[in-house]
Structure formats: structure tokens, C-alpha cells
Structure 1
Amino acid sequence: MGRHSLPDERGTDVPDPRPRARGRTVALTTALVLVVAGGAAAAVGGGVLSFGGSCEDDAVRLDVVAAPDVTPALRAAADHAREKEVTSDGHCIDVHVTARDSYKVADELRAGKGDPEYDVWVPDSDLWVRRVGLGTERTKVSPAGNIASSPVGIAVLPSAAKSLGWPKKTYDWQQLATATLKGDQVRLGAADPARSATGLLALAKLGASARKQGGEEGDTRTAALAKALSTRTTDTDGRLLDTLARDGSAAEQGGPRRNEALILSEQAAFEHNASAARKNSLGLFYPKDGSPRLDYPYTLVADDEMSTDTSRAALRFMAMVSDEDGRKILAERGFRTDPDRPSARLLTAAGARSPQPYAREASEPPSDKEVQEILGMWTITVQSARLSTVVDASESMSQLVPGRAQSRMEVTKSSLARALEGFTDEDEIGLWEFATRLDGARDYRELEPTERLGEHRGGATHRDRLTKAFRALQPVPGGATGLYDTTLAAYKEARSTYVSGKFNALVILTDGANQDPAGISRSSLIAQLKELSEPERPLPVIAIAVGPDADKDEVQQIAAATGGSGHQVDDPAQIHAVILEAIMKAGSNRP
């Protein structure tokens, strides 16, 4: 297969003129990878591997892509390997490390297109490896161990530290976010959670903290805080420190106020403080409900296609990075190599002070479901959503959900109400219901127009009216599923009322296949949806088949015609999570 050169740190593609001593011919199972890794580590510890001799003629080249923050340490380790002529099976290893944002590599591997031009990937978090695993055409990735860690907290300039009571006062995530996002006394900045593990881990902790304290209002509170945070985000971690106030003052001459606090890793604070003047140095808050950690998984890429020499060289380099010299290189650059016993030097340099809980055990990472939900919430919060929601009101929605004393309609209404809590007042949501001949000859009826949730009219907000309309939904006696005509009519309406700058989508929930023989056919519906779709003004259909009788293939075909996604849930209580997951997926595919 053809290969493409890696982009260098400046974003230009520079082909390497040297021949590559590699080939992907010998398949390795994951079990063999782990055995070789253990053997390599043992060989290093016992001094079995040979050192010295000429490396010019038979070196095994190893290409590594890594998160920008850990790249300098890995390059130093690669230089150390060359200087010491470190070998694997008698061959010197020639390691080349390229910096690339973890989200870009994850998206590339998830798509599974082409043949990656690297053997090892070291992202800053296992979150990205897990994202690759969600792709249906994904490239195989095999994590072999973690080489370092760095907790995530909120770094503050001296002026902000004083006003927040640092270091003596401790906060949980929700309290700290509220203190820095409400008003304009202390400005908090972050990197985009869709592109930054630091931002995503912090947002997940913020959400968990808000739900713990706020009960049913937790999702609404999280969305409100996320909305405030979204106005102060940068595209990537690399640009975040550029938003920090200079000379300790947030007020900039002739410009907007800069941030006095940042969601940052301990290692990033360490690096900043190493070159910052005292008035620009950072102190770190470690929230008392737990600091999530970046964990830097050393990951083999397409190891089932690697040659034996390359796979052994990859594991030899990992073993070297994990030995005493490698740990020293990482620690000198602000990484924790023993999470439970961080060095006093590192902590002091990073801005940790007692009684901040900097040494407590890391909090549990968010689950895949939690990640999808928080990213879905972030997508609709940042972009503001305009969703036309169409709910099946056919008689079959009165059937009881197995294991529950509630009907499909009752559980659906409850799940929709919960989903509504995650939207802000700037989001626009409408509601239709459908069943055969529901409104004269039509199979559908508009219950609430698609308007801002915060819009006041008649003494109530649109959110209030929509909540009331959700509660009033009832199955129609004798009503069948008029899916095709309804979908086409709703899509045309959503297209004619499209609002630029928002995330526009049509959400359809149905518990059965189309049952209206007098309406259009599926092929006609799909053809018309394709014709109505406009790539420059995306309007995906998010179609959810509810219950065991629903046709998943049908909703997938309908949604695919618009660039959307089809899903099936056995329990309507899953609708909330699926909507957020689908929004996140559709949002990430936008041009």
C-alpha cells in the first residue's frame, strides 16, 4: 500500500529522503506483543541487550507520533538511544518523533484510511485510543502501557490566586468553575474539549460534580457553565497559554481582558513556570473531588502488520523510556513517572502548595457513555442547536416497556424531558407528533414551533411550553406509523427555516416501520432527502428506532441520505444519551 509522509511540527509535509528499514510482514497477536514487552523490559533490567558497535548500516527505524507536550521528552529519549547506541536484537534503534495533536491522529486512525506512516502513537490520554475504537473501519491500535501521567487542575496567576484564597482554600470542580465563570472578576480559559483531553476531562469532572450537588438540575447547571466556558476556549492546548494575562494584569492596553486562570495539566504549568517571571508564575488548584490525569499510553499502530524487527524495536524503546534514565528525562520535563509519589521538586515548580490535595489518588476516568454525553452537550452548547423533534404517537407507543410499569410513550416523554435540561436558553427546539391521518389527510401535526427555549410569550418561556407539550403526548388509538410522509414534510420545514451559525438537525423517534400504504415509498423518500440536502448547510436527520419492533436498517437508510445517523434503543430511557451521542457525531463531521 502507498504511504504518505508525516507533517512536521509546522504543518508542512516533508518527505524523509532516507531509506526506511522496515516492512510490515509478520503478524503479531496482542498476547505476543505483551510477552515481547515483558521480555524487553527484563532484558534491559538484566543487562542482556548489547550496546556499542556501528549503527550506521543496520539500524531499525522507528517512527513515533506523539502529543506535542510529551514530544520533547521522547526526542530526548531518542537522542539518548542514539548516543548510547541502544540496540534491539543486535540492531540499533533509530527513533524519529513527530509532534501531532492527539485528536487529529485519533480521527485519522478511527477512519482507517490509508496506511499510517508511523509505528507508535503516544497521545496524551487513553480517551483518544478509546475514540479510535469506536470507528467501524478503524486501524488497529494496541496500548502497551503508560509512560507518564499529569493531573489536570486549574492554574491561576497571583492576582487570581489571592482573590480565590489559594492555596489555603480548597474547592470542588463545580465550586471552582462557578467562582471563575460567574461574573468577570477572574476569567477562566480552556482548550476545546472536542480537541483537548485536558479540556474534556475537566468538563466531565465539572459535570459529575454539578450533578452530585444539583440533582436533576445538574445537567442544566453544567450546560450553563459550559456555555460560559465556551466563550473563552482556544482550538488546542498549544494556544491556551497565549491567552494568559501578561505582567499579572488581565486588562490589556486597547484589547480585551485576558485570562487569569486556565484549565491546565500540571506538566503544562511546570513548563510555563520554568520560564515565567514571578508575577506571571502559576499556582495550581487541585479540586478536592479529584483531579483527572493525562496518562500517555504508549500505543502500537497496526502491530499485526509490523515486521518482527520493528515491533521489537518499538517495545525496546518503550522499555528504555520506562527505565531509570527514561523516567529521569520525563521527570525533568514535568511529568509524573510514579503517580503515587510525585517529586517535591516537580510539585513546587508546577505551583502545587499545601493544603491543595495534589497527592490524592486520581479520580476515575469518564466512561465511553459519559464522554459521548459530555461531548454532545458541548457541541450543542457551543454551536447552539436548532432541533426539530418528531415523535411517533401511533397506538403501539402504548405498549409497556419490558421490566417497567410504563409505556413506551411514558418513558420516551421522560427521556425527552431529561434531554431538554441539557439545552440552554439560546437553543431552538420544536415538537411534532405523527400517526396516520392525524390531522385530516396528514400524518403529522406541529405541537410547538422551533423557537428559542428562552423566548417569553404569554407569561411563559418556550421551554415551559415545550415541557408541557412533552407531558401531554399520548398514543393515538388506532393510529399507525406514518413515517415517510412525516419525515419528508418535517425535513422540508426544517430546511426552509434553517438558521446559519447553529447546529441544525431533525430528530425523529419511531417505534415501528412505516405503515401508511397511501404515502410515498422509502425509495422516493430517500431520493428526495438526498436532493434536498445541502453540504454547505448541513441538516442531518437523527433517527432513533425505539423498541424491539422498530426497523433499525430503515432509520439508518433514511438518516444516511442526509449525512445523519440511525440508532436503535430497546429501552426509551436510552434516548437522551443517544441524542447527545448523535449530535456529537454529526457536529464533528461538519465542514
Structure 2
Amino acid sequence: MKGRHRSAGSSGGALKLGAATVAVLVVLAGSWYAFRKYSQPSCGNAAKLSIGAPADIVPALKAQATEWSERAKVGHNCVDIEVFEEDPADVAAALAGKANKALTGVGQANGKTRIPDVWVADSSLWLQRLHAADAQSVPADAKSIALSPLVLAMPEPIATTFGWPQKEITYPDLIGKVATDQKVKVGIVEPSRDATGLGGLLTLAAAAQAAGGGDATQATQAATAALRALAAGRSSLRADLMQKFPRGGDATALSGGLSVAPLSEQAVIQYNGQQPPVRLAALYAEPAAPALDYPYAVLGNDKASIANELLKSLDSQGFRDKLGAIGLRGADGTAGKGFQTPANAPAALAAAQPPDAAAVEGLLTKWQAITLPARMLAVIDVSGSMLEPVPTAGGATRMQVTLEAARKGMSLFDDSWALGVWVFSTLLDGNKDYKQLVPIGPLASQRTQCLQALSTIQPKRNGDTALYDTILAAYKAVQQGYESGRVNSIIVMTDGENDDPAGGLSLEQLIAELKKTADPAKPIQVILIGIGNKVGEAQMRQITDAIGGGTFVAPDPAKIGDIFLQAIALRGQGAQPK
């Protein structure tokens, strides 16, 4: 018993000693922690960095930024990184607006749009378009941090009719199918504001152009038909487009739903991940369309050091795995852990070189011309100077190149358009300086009439240019039959300054009369196109600035076709009087 008693006493002493030891260790650990905390440099104020990116990549960026910032320091400062969602089109519009520029079809930025320190757009096409508009607005180049190839998304039962998954599909295959099978319904997200839509538009339009072979007329017709087919199935938002795919596998559902649309590989992966009634096939068609490549653009120099340090961490397997979990590939085209590879997908992909910026804007102007419903009065100068030959057009006259531009432009307008044709000079119709050839009416019923009228136009050899009186008369004519829901506009093509021997309106009188006539509830765009180097550009700009619209000048009349398309595209910019 005594031994057990001593043992118990020894045990109690040992417990006390152990507790004391633990207490000492705790105190020492706390002291060491305090020593470490206060002997090391203070964190100081947090260095902040904001990153704006599309919803597609935000989850991976947030996770990586949080992980990196927990151990990162800049000098004595910790790093606080905010990653937020921002529509690339809105950021692009905001950056363009800062430089007093506008991108075709993009319009104004959302009033809540933030310009971040680092902009991760979904495609380099945005940087290219901005750089072409204003070289200072964005960096000339930016490193890609992720990749999602553009595919043709197609319900699997329909894809099998194209030979999927065994056969390699080409864009010409699709063009041929669309041209011969009315059951094939093509969709697209508005390409002027969506990179997947733009990439698909560029590739499909090029394939259609090539389908015309060496015949320029056939090539133009094929490309126009393709653009019209896309326009008929366009959606403003990607989510809306996805809802158009068939919700059932029976013949009725398949024929009533969307057949095919250019989308990102990620969009197809995420759609199928929701277990839809009909899965989508991802067709990796040739030639490859411009992929979403997620460029990392540092805007400004004040946060460049932090931004560039974070960028280094985005070139890691850890970030690639985070991308893979949300259906994106690494910048080199390889997939990280968790990536759900679609059937028949290449193991690795590389971003294709984006097309020339001028080609992009040129195609978007055509797209705008086709897609915006319009009611337009075309007014063409037939004064004597329109007989002058154009050396760069093989000796064709100014009148001839202008009429050819008008004919080509009209070929882009579908039957939903309303169009009228006037000509003007001096004393063309009694005492009037202008003459109506075709009243404004639907092209569905008077396309042939308009084309015939263009073919009969001849310059008045000794005629002058009563420009101001004609503009006012045309404005009133368009206003009289105004149609809501359409872009009501006047397009005047002239090669000279106002020159009316009978007097007529002065510039100041014209502007005053236009302002007095204008009705804010019935906005009318006045689009003036100057042909050659003798136009009164300054006076023309005063008119369009005052009443709303735009002035375009083609010093080389041979370029009037390109200028005509740019002018038509203005209808989507919402020009207002200044």
C-alpha cells in the first residue's frame, strides 16, 4: 500500500511537473510568436490591385489571386486583390470613350462599368480593335493566361448527320449545308459585342467568300447570304442563345430548335455538365476560328509591379488545374486536372493568330448594315462634276463608282428595309433642285424598281449643287413618313460644296431650319458622304454635328464603296445632335 501510495505521489508530482512544463512551453511559444511578429517588418498598408474579367474565368482568377496574395508582399505591404466580373464589351466601350472613340456596334459603356488595373478580356480581338482605334488605350500586346477554342456547337443527333465524331468538319461543309437545307438553323451571339460571335462571323464569312470561287460577284453574294442567315438567328446574350437549342431528341424538337452556333469549348462543356435532354457536340471545324485567349492587359504603370508578380503565378500547374475545373485550358492549350474533354477534341491546342484589325472592322460594318432594320432615303448628286473620271478606278466616272457603291450596298439590305431614291443638282424638277425617282417603300416590293432607277441615273452636264435646299427637303420627307422601331435616316452622296446660282439656303439658315423641324420623339440621322477632294467637309460636319448623324469623306472616289459601308454602320452608334 505504501509503495502504491508513493507511486501515486510520484505520479501526482509528475503530472504537476508536466503541466508546468507545458505552461512554460506555451509561454515560450507565445513569446517566440510575439518576438517573431514584432521583430519582423510590419505588413503596413495593403497594396491594392483590381482585376476585371468575364464571368467565364473569374472563379479561377479569384482562387489563384487569393492563394497568391496570402503569401505575397510588395515592399512592407501586403497585397489585397479584388477580382470582379465585367463584360468585355463594356470595358472596351469605356476605354474607347476615354479616348473619344467608338467601336463599331459596341455603343456606350454601361454606366456602372469600372476600368480595372488589370483587364482580362476573353479575346485579344478586343485589344486589337481598341489599339486600332487609339494606340494609347491598351498595351500593344498582352500575355494569354487561358485558352478556349471556338467550336461549332451542335446537338449530337444533328452532328451525326455531318459525320461526327468520325469525320473532320469544315466551315465550307457548314456553308454548303445551310445553303441546301432550310432545316439547318444557324445561331450566333451578337458579334459586335461578343468575341465568340465575332470569331464565328469572321470564319464563316471567309468560308462563304471562298465558296464563291474566283467570281467576285458570286463570292459577295455567298458571303452576304451567310451573313443574312447568321443575322436571322442572332441573340444579344449567350444565355439567350443557349436556350434555343432543342430540349428534346424527337424530330419535331430537333427541327424547331437551333441547329448550330459558334461557341467556346467551355460553353459546350458547361452546357453538357447540366445534363440537358440533348447534349451538344463540339465540332473542331477547320479552318480554326480565333480562340478565346484571355489576354492579361495591365492598364497603366502605377500597379504594374504587383500585376506582373501575380502574372508569374498564372503560369503554373496550380492555376491550370483551377482552369480545368471550370472548362478552360491553359494558355498553351493543354488541360489541367478536372477538365472534361469533349469527344473528338484535340489533346492540345494553340491560339490562332487574330485577323487584321481593318478586316475585322470592315466585316462588322457590313454586319451592322445587314442587321439594323432601317428606313432610308438615298440622295445622289447628279451635278456636272460627277462626270469627272477617277484615275484609280480605271477611268470610270465619279457617277459610275458612286452608283456601283449604291448597288453593292443595296445588296446587303434584306427585304425588311424600306428605301427610297432621290437625285439632286439644280432645277431638276421644275423649280425644284431634287427629284424623286422611287418613294420610300419596302424593298420586298420595290427592290427591282430601285435597281432600275439607279441604272437610269445620268449627271446633268451643266448642273450645279443645291446641297442645302436638298438636305432640308429630304429631312422633311423622311420625317413625314417616320416609322418607329426603325433607324430613319438620310444618306446624301455628293462631290462638291453647296453651289446654287438661284440663291437658296445658307449654311446658317439650313442648320436653323433643321433644328426647328427636328422632333426629339422622331430622331432622324443625316449621313453625308463626300466624294473626292473638293467637298465642303467642314460645312458638312457642322450640319451633322448640329442635327445628329455623321460626315464621311472619300478623297479617292474609288474608295466610295468602303466609305458607304462605314456610313451605313453609323446607324448603330446612336449619333445625337451636339
* TM-score using structure 1 length: 0.79
1:503 maps to amino acid: V
Task: Pick closer, same or farther for the CA change 1:87–1:573 going to 2, 3 Å.
Answer: farther
Distance 2:72 2:536 in 1: 58
**Alpha-carbon distance, 1:65 to partner:** 1.0
Aligned partner of 1:390 among 379, 383, 392 = 379
Task: Pick closer, same or farther for the CA change 1:329–1:180 going to 2, 3 Å.
Answer: farther
Aligned partner of 1:326 among 299, 311, 319 = 319
Aligned to 2:440: 450
Distance 1:55 1:66 in 2: 32
Aligned to 1:28: none
Aligned to 1:29: none
Q: Check if 1:276 corresponds to 2:274.
A: yes
Aligned to 1:104: 90
Distance 2:428 2:348 in 1: 62
Distance 1:212 1:531 in 2: 50
SS at match of 1:566: strand
SS at match of 1:405: coil
Aligned positions of 1:303-342 closer than 5 A? 303=300, 306-307=301-302, 310-339=303-332, 342=334
Aligned to 2:538: 553
Task: Pick closer, same or farther for the CA change 1:185–1:413 going to 2, 3 Å.
Answer: closer
TM-superposition CA deviations, 1:263-313 (whole Å, max 9, x none): 21112223333x233854322122223322222222223x1xx53xx2211
Distance 2:231 2:41 in 1: 54
Task: Pick closer, same or farther for the CA change 1:220–1:350 going to 2, 3 Å.
Answer: farther
Q: Unaligned stretches of 5+ in structure 2?
A: 1-39, 101-110
**Alpha-carbon distance, 1:551 to partner:** 2.2
SS at match of 1:179: helix
**Alpha-carbon distance, 1:567 to partner:** 1.0
Query: Residues 397 and 407 of structure 1 are in contact (CA less than 8 Å); yes or no, is this contact kept in structure 2?
Result: yes
Distance 1:230 1:205 in 2: 15
**Alpha-carbon distance, 1:247 to partner:** 5.0
SS at match of 1:294: coil
Distance 2:389 2:202 in 1: 34
Task: Pick closer, same or farther for the CA change 1:321–1:397 going to 2, 3 Å.
Answer: same
Distance 1:554 1:490 in 2: 18
Aligned to 1:487: 471
1:266 maps to amino acid: E
Aligned to 1:464: 448
Aligned to 2:422: 432
Q: Check if 1:74 corresponds to 2:61.
A: yes
**Alpha-carbon distance, 1:472 to partner:** 2.9
Query: Residues 110 and 133 of structure 1 are in contact (CA less than 8 Å); yes or no, is this contact kept in structure 2?
Result: no
Aligned to 1:6: none
Task: Pick closer, same or farther for the CA change 1:581–1:369 going to 2, 3 Å.
Answer: farther
**Alpha-carbon distance, 1:331 to partner:** 4.0
2:306 maps to amino acid: A
Query: Residues 376 and 584 of structure 1 are in contact (CA less than 8 Å); yes or no, is this contact kept in structure 2?
Result: yes
Q: Which 10-residue stretch deviates more, 368-377 or 65-74? A: 368-377
Query: Residues 73 and 329 of structure 1 are in contact (CA less than 8 Å); yes or no, is this contact kept in structure 2?
Result: yes
Q: Which 10-residue stretch deviates more, 545-554 or 111-120? A: 111-120
**Alpha-carbon distance, 1:61 to partner:** 0.9
Distance 2:189 2:357 in 1: 20
TM-superposition CA deviations, 1:327-354 (whole Å, max 9, x none): 4433443333355x5449898x342517
Aligned to 1:512: 496
Aligned to 2:33: none
Aligned positions of 1:336-351 closer than 5 A? 336-339=329-332, 342-343=334-335, 349-351=340-342
TM-superposition CA deviations, 1:94-121 (whole Å, max 9, x none): 2111112111111122112899552111
Aligned positions of 1:170-569 closer than 5 A? 170-177=168-175, 179=177, 185-214=183-212, 215-246=216-247, 248=249, 257-273=256-272, 275-277=273-275, 280-301=278-299, 303=300, 306-307=301-302, 310-339=303-332, 342-343=334-335, 349-353=340-344, 364-403=353-392, 404-455=394-445, 462-517=446-501, 518-569=503-554
Task: Pick closer, same or farther for the CA change 1:74–1:135 going to 2, 3 Å.
Answer: same
Task: Pick closer, same or farther for the CA change 1:450–1:204 going to 2, 3 Å.
Answer: farther
Q: Check if 1:61 corresponds to 2:48.
A: yes
**Alpha-carbon distance, 1:154 to partner:** 1.1
2:463 maps to amino acid: G
- State the identity %: 32
Distance 1:134 1:566 in 2: 20
SS at match of 1:68: coil
Distance 1:411 1:358 in 2: 51
Query: Residues 321 and 336 of structure 2 are in contact (CA less than 8 Å); yes or no, is this contact kept in structure 1?
Result: no
**Alpha-carbon distance, 1:234 to partner:** 2.5
Task: Pick closer, same or farther for the CA change 1:471–1:352 going to 2, 3 Å.
Answer: farther
Q: Unaligned stretches of 5+ in structure 1?
A: 1-52, 456-461
Aligned to 2:26: none
Distance 2:395 2:294 in 1: 46
* TM-score using structure 2 length: 0.81
Query: Residues 147 and 351 of structure 2 are in contact (CA less than 8 Å); yes or no, is this contact kept in structure 1?
Result: no
Distance 1:279 1:286 in 2: 22
**Alpha-carbon distance, 1:540 to partner:** 0.7
Distance 2:388 2:89 in 1: 43
Distance 1:481 1:495 in 2: 23
2:424 maps to amino acid: F
Distance 1:483 1:295 in 2: 50
Query: Residues 379 and 587 of structure 1 are in contact (CA less than 8 Å); yes or no, is this contact kept in structure 2?
Result: yes
Aligned to 2:137: 140
Task: Pick closer, same or farther for the CA change 1:411–1:181 going to 2, 3 Å.
Answer: closer
**Alpha-carbon distance, 1:358 to partner:** 8.7
TM-superposition CA deviations, 1:437-478 (whole Å, max 9, x none): 2222221112222222231xxxxxx33332233233322111
SS at match of 1:443: strand
Q: CA RMSD in A?
A: 3.2
Task: Pick closer, same or farther for the CA change 1:501–1:135 going to 2, 3 Å.
Answer: same
**Alpha-carbon distance, 1:495 to partner:** 1.3
2:496 maps to amino acid: G
Task: Pick closer, same or farther for the CA change 1:158–1:561 going to 2, 3 Å.
Answer: same
Query: Residues 153 and 262 of structure 2 are in contact (CA less than 8 Å); yes or no, is this contact kept in structure 1?
Result: yes
Distance 1:560 1:432 in 2: 23
1:571 maps to amino acid: D
SS at match of 1:128: helix
Query: Residues 555 and 567 of structure 1 are in contact (CA less than 8 Å); yes or no, is this contact kept in structure 2?
Result: no
Aligned to 2:561: 576
SS at match of 2:498: coil
SS at match of 1:293: coil
2:230 maps to amino acid: L
